[in-house]
Structure formats: C-alpha cells, structure tokens
Amino acid sequence: MDVVAYVIGAACIDTLDRSCVDVCPVDCISADEGDRMLFIDPKVCIDCAACVEPCPVEAIAFEPDLRPEWKEFTRINRMHFEDPAAARELVESWVSRQ
Ligand code: SF4
Ligand code: SF4
C-alpha cells in the first residue's frame, strides 16, 4: 500500500544544499554518493512539514499538493529506498526531457 508523504521534486536537482536534512526529526531524507538530488523515505516520513520552509528552492511538498509536472517524483523518492540505481536513472531521464 502506498503511503502519503512529503516528496522532493525536481528543483532539488543539482541544488543539494541539505537544509532539509538538518531539520527532519526522523532522518528520513537522504541520497547516495553521486545522486543529483535528495529523497524522502515515505515509509519513515511523519508528515510534519518541517522540511518545507528551509528549502531555498521550494522543492518539497505534501504529495497531494505536488506540482502536476513533478508527479513522477513521488515514485522516484520511494524508489530510491528500494532500488537506488533505478531512481537515479529516472532522475537522469527527467533531466534529459527538460
Ligand atoms: S515532512 Fe517531516 S518527517 Fe517528512 S521529510 Fe519533512 S521533515 Fe522529515
Ligand atoms: S533543502 Fe531543498 S534543495 Fe536543499 S537538499 Fe533539501 S530538498 Fe534539496
């Protein structure tokens, strides 16, 4: 069953300043070496919204409120915690379509 959580969208790509990581009370925002953005683990996120305001590029939103053009980032965030390489490919694919 899908969990409704906060999602990091495309604006994070190549920004990566990690302001969100510092405020998350459950440490559910992460990335691997070489990733071009950070991801929120939907299974751990407690929907507290603490990460939204510190993000300098407004990349983070509650999933139902995510910009329509960023809808696939719901899947990309979740996928990072299941298959990081696949998530990275989806990010590259998104970038190549811009
Ligand atoms: S909404 Fe709260 S728990 Fe979820 S990623 Fe943001 S700071 Fe962490
Ligand atoms: S604060 Fe925003 S831009 Fe910075 S790492 Fe977090 S989601 Fe990405």
pTM strictly above 0.85: yes
Alpha helices in 1-98 (DSSP H): 19-23, 72-80, 84-96
Question: Would the CB of 16 count as within 6 Å of ligand 2?
Answer: yes
- In a domain, residue 50? The reply is yes
Domain of residue 69: give its range.
6-96
Residue 51 belongs to a domain: yes
Ligand 1, from 7, 21, 24, 27: best to mutate by most atoms within 8 Å of Cβ? 24
| Number of Cβ atoms within 10 Å of the Cβ of 69 | 11
Residue 1 lies in a domain: no
Residue 34 lies in a domain: yes
Domain assignment present for 39? yes
User: For residue 6, which phi and psi values (nearest 5 degrees)?
Assistant: -75, 150
Residue 57 lies in a domain: yes
For residue 96, give the amino acid letter: S
The closest alpha carbon to 69, from 3, 8, 9, belongs to: 9
Whole-number pLDDT of residue 96: 98
| Domain CATH for 52 | 3.30.70.20
How many structural domains is the chain composed of? 1
Write down the pLDDT at residue 3.
76
pLDDT computed for residue 1 by the predictor = 52
Instruction: Let me know if residue 18 belongs to a domain.
Output: yes
Q: pLDDT truncated to tens, each residue of the chain (98 aa)?
A: 567 899 999 999 999 999 999 999 999 999 999 999 999 999 999 999 999 999 999 999 999 999 999 999 999 999 999 999 999 999 999 999 99
User: In which element (H, E) is residue 7 found?
Assistant: strand 6-8
Whole-number Å distance, alpha carbon 41 to ligand 2 midpoint, is 14
**pLDDT (0 to 100) of residue 43:** 97
